[in-house]
């Protein structure tokens, strides 16, 4: 404590010393200025005239310097700014419009229908009727297996079924003549039905040797050859990334490419926009671009919105369908999707840069008929590609877009003039060289 007290005493002593020296200096200046002031009071007209004539060039130079300084001050500090003049801005007038609500997302193309062709029986491939990449129709014959054994078995059972049917018909005639009993007729009918069922089963087994396509589509790479042994109940894996079935364990994969589907996810915060637009029966529309190529835009409609939200990504899956007549899109490709969720009727839209965000919320500067600005709190409803839909203003209000950095409530503003384009002289209009003049 003694060290601190001593330091404070020294500081007080130093301040007192500085104060005394300052007072002494001011007294000296006053004593020097007093004779000059008293002498200036005693100056008469002849003395003043003689003094002006003696230092006239110096006085003129001083006046010129003061005038130039005044001009420079007015140039760098205009009177409009010094006296709070009108500030230059650009503004827009709010109008009612119908604004479409667009949701952008990324997704993946998936096939509308995809089937792995696998055998139902263990057999040997006898003939292949298609080629790799060929367009396939529903019901078209793809593969023929070795059907010799199945054909013989079917023909044998078919013959037995025909004979049993004939025996039943003969027994029916004998019952009418009371040569056999009703029990014998019932046994003959049961034998005929059993033989016919066995024949139909053999016919189904024989049909497994002719493999046909269940859908329209394009064939992939054929994984078997004539003479290859194929087995039933092969396990086929499915790739979840593109929801496309792999060719492991299949003879060939048939993929439907037209139409083709695109699957994407919508964030949880945009789900009310989707559900709110499903009030009528009209389907939602989408515009799809493939990868980064924005030249080809495909239009389609939404097929289904999933019935649950994935909690891992807080999004819901949506599937849409587009036309692919040129077959230029393949499953698994990256897609950019723009979904038209709904339309805001009679909405008020302003440029996004007109909205100012402060700790209390969002505001805009409104210009009245006297060119004075005021602050209006607003609520942002929707924002997309530099345009913002707001509430809190009225149609016809003039909203400040640019020049709002230094605005204050009640300040005056003026609209910026659009500079006119300067005429451009064509390069060929110049005067030709003297050597070209003849």
Task: Specify whether 361 is located in the same domain as 325.
Answer: no
Task: Specify whether 335 is located in the same domain as 360.
Answer: no
Task: Specify whether 387 is located in the same domain as 326.
Answer: no
d(CA 117, CA 140) in angstroms, rounded, equals 12
Q: Is residue 239 part of a domain?
A: no
Task: Specify whether 265 is located in the same domain as 339.
Answer: yes
Q: Is residue 428 part of a domain?
A: no
Q: Is residue 222 part of a domain?
A: no
Q: Is residue 378 part of a domain?
A: yes
pLDDT, residue 184, reads 82
Task: Specify whether 190 is located in the same domain as 155.
Answer: yes
Q: Is residue 319 part of a domain?
A: yes
pLDDT single digits (tens) 28-69: 766 665 665 565 555 566 776 776 777 777 777 888 888 888
- Structural domains counted in the chain: 4
Q: Is residue 430 part of a domain?
A: no
Task: Specify whether 282 is located in the same domain as 336.
Answer: yes
Q: Which domain CATH number covers 372?
A: 2.40.420.20
56-76 and 45-54 helices cross at what angle (nearest 10)?
70
Task: Specify whether 339 is located in the same domain as 362.
Answer: no
Residue 27 has pLDDT above 50, yes or no: yes
Q: Is residue 41 part of a domain?
A: yes
Q: Is residue 138 part of a domain?
A: no
Residue 144 has pLDDT above 90, yes or no: yes
Beta strands in 268-403 (DSSP E): 285-290, 293-305, 315-322, 334-351, 356-358, 361-367, 373-384, 387-391, 398-402
Q: Which domain CATH number covers 313?
A: 2.40.30.170
Residue-range definition of the domain harbouring residue 314: 254-343
Task: Specify whether 359 is located in the same domain as 333.
Answer: no
pLDDT single digits (tens) 86-123: 888 898 999 888 888 888 899 999 998 899 899 999 99
Task: Specify whether 306 is located in the same domain as 371.
Answer: no
């Amino acid at each position: 404590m003694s060290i601190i007290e001593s330091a404070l005493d020294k500081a007080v002593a130093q301040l007192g010393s500085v104060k005394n020296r300052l007072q002494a200096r001011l007294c000296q200046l006053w004593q020097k200025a007093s004779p000059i002031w008293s002498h200036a009071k005693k100056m008469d007209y002849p003395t003043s005239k003689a003094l002006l004539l003696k230092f006239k060039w110096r006085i003129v130079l001083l006046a010129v310097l003061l005038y130039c300084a005044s001009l420079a001050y007015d140039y760098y500090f205009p009177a409009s700014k010094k006296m709070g003049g009108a500030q230059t801005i650009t503004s827009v007038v709010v109008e009612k419009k119908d604004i479409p609500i667009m949701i952008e997302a990324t997704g993946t193309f998936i096939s509308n229908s995809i089937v792995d062709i696998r055998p139902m029986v263990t057999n040997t491939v006898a003939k292949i009727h298609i080629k790799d990449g060929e367009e396939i129709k529903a019901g078209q014959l793809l593969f023929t297996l070795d059907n010799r054994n199945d054909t013989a078995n079917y023909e044998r059972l078919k013959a037995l079924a025909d004979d049993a049917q004939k025996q039943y018909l003969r027994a029916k005639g004998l019952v009418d003549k009371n040569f056999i009993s009703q029990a014998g007729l019932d046994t003959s009918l049961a034998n005929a039905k059993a033989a016919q069922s066995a024949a139909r089963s053999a016919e189904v087994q024989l049909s497994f040797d002719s493999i046909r396509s269940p859908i329209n589509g394009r064939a992939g790479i054929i994984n078997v050859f004539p003479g290859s042994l194929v087995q039933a109940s092969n396990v086929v894996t499915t790739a979840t990334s593109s929801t496309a079935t792999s060719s492991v364990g299949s003879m060939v994969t048939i993929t439907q490419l037209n139409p083709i589907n695109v699957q994407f996810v919508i964030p949880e915060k945009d789900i009310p926009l989707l559900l709110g637009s499903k009030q009528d029966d009209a389907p939602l529309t989408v515009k799809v671009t493939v990868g980064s190529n924005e030249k080809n835009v495909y239009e389609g409609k939404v097929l289904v919105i999933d019935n649950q939200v994935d909690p891992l990504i807080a999004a819901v899956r949506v599937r849409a369908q587009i036309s692919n007549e040129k077959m230029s899109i393949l499953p698994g490709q990256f897609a950019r999707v723009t979904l038209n969720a709904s339309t805001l009727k009679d909405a008020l839209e302003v440029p996004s840069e007109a909205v100012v965000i402060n700790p209390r919320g969002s505001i805009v500067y409104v210009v009245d008929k006297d060119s004075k600005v005021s602050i209006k709190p607003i609520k942002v409803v929707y924002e997309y590609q530099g345009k913002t839909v707001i509430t809190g203003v009225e149609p016809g209000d003039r909203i400040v877009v640019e020049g709002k950095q230094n605005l204050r409530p009640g300040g005056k503003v003026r609209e910026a003039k659009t500079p006119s384009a300067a005429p451009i002289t064509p390069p060929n209009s110049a005067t030709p060289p003297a050597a070209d003049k003849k």
